[in-house]
Chain A
Amino acid sequence: MVPLSYYLVLSGILFACGVTGFLIKRNIITVFMSIELMLNGVNLSFVAFAAQWHALSGQVFVFFVMVVAAAEATVGLAIIIAVYRTRETLNVDRINLLKL
């Protein structure tokens, strides 16, 4: 038996790691991965809460999150490729003109 809060804390840690990654990573792809990490953290809390409240809709939400994450990753990576083509860098600190 594991207290549910453990799951929540784990999810929180993952989320915090994601945010931190977003803050400290310079590579735009890694920054993107940090976002995925945050989403994963959220997913875990969804599943945990689903278990707590005995509501399967929590698990269904995870699917939606995954689909959205997939869509986001596709578009995001496409954008990254486009950015790389024009600016020849992946460093977010150098991509600061808000335009391609």
Chain B
Amino acid sequence: MLHLLVFSVFGLVCVAGAVNLLVQRHPINSALSLVVVMGSLAVEYLLLGAEFVAAVQVIVYAGAIMVLFVFVIMLLNAGEEERSKGSRVAMIFGVPGVLIGSVLVAWVLVARSGTGNVAVGALPGPPKVIGWLLFHDFLLPFEVTSVLVLIAIMGAVVLASHPGSKQPDKREG
């Protein structure tokens, strides 16, 4: 019961954060709501037993990626969003499409997935085991991602550096 309670509380926080992201007009508020979503997701991961994933979620997502977002928002001094009407298509087709799609998926999941219950910490993901998996079964993808990250860093430096300026931008990747 406690499990369900915790799940529901943080799930609600999660959804509230996500909805807030949509409702808020200032990007920094959206960013902070996203941080909230990520934090509560980390708790959900903990509930599922994936403690390492949870920690990394906080460190990488909330601690690095979102800081980067906030940093860019501050750097560009992004103001409130304009209410421009650029796209009727998005409203006419897209939003109903999303609604239909998600309702269908939710229906399928609830009605037909036949998945069982999970207990707290159903599948512990200790760092040791995950590291073992990463460096054995997923070694190639791991290395490929490292190359990807390297490329991303270089690309970011090239893109963000002022054309002509000698000093490359020193944001982290």
Contact = CB atoms under 8 A, between A and B. Distances in A.
The answer to whether A binds B is yes
Contact of B69 (A5, A9, A33): A33
B117 interface: yes
Interface in A41-78: 43-44, 47-48, 50-52, 54, 56-57, 59-60, 62-64, 66-75, 77-78
Contacts of B48: 7, 47-48, 50-51
A31 to B, nearest CB: 10
Interface in A6-55: 6-10, 12-21, 23-27, 29-30, 32-34, 36-37, 40, 43-44, 47-48, 50-52, 54
A40 to B, nearest CB: 6
Interface in B36-56: 37-38, 41, 44-45, 47-50, 52-53, 56
A99 interface: no
Contacts of B110: 5, 9
B88 to A, nearest CB: 11
B3 A2 contact: yes
A90 B169 CA distance: 20
A58 to B, nearest CB: 8
Contacts of A80: 72, 76
Given A5-B113, A14-B14, A30-B27, A40 B98 contact: no
Contact of A56 (B37, B45, B125, B160): B125
Contact of B160 (A26, A62, A82): A82
Q: Give me the 6 closest cross-chain CB pairs, A-B, nearest first.
A: A93-B86, A71-B152, A78-B159, A4-B115, A17-B18, A16-B102
16 contacts: A14-B37, A23-B98, A26-B83, A27-B78, A51-B49, A51-B122, A56-B123, A57-B133, A66-B56, A66-B57, A70-B64, A70-B173, A71-B145, A81-B159, A91-B84, A94-B86
